[in-house]
Amino acid sequence: MSDPPAAHADPHAADGMVGEHGQPTDQGDGHGHDDHAHGAEALGPIDVPAWGAAILGIVLGLIVVGALLLATT
């Protein structure tokens, strides 16, 4: 009986692996952005008319559901 073939390291790194031990060679620090290639974004103001329309739609939908429940019971 012969010995099984020795396992060899994959000569091609996976797509996510770039440098030694899979560490990317460019961390993005020197290009004006963070490691995820985008800067921090501040949240904008609350859109009161949009939220009001959403709440009104939910209330009107609940009224319809209530009417259907009354009609079917």
Give the tens place of pLDDT for each residue, 50-63: 999 999 999 999 99
pLDDT, averaged across the chain? 74
Q: How confident is the model at residue 30 (pLDDT cuts 50, 70, 90)?
A: low
> pTM of the prediction?
0.43
Pair of tokens at residue 53 = 């329309």
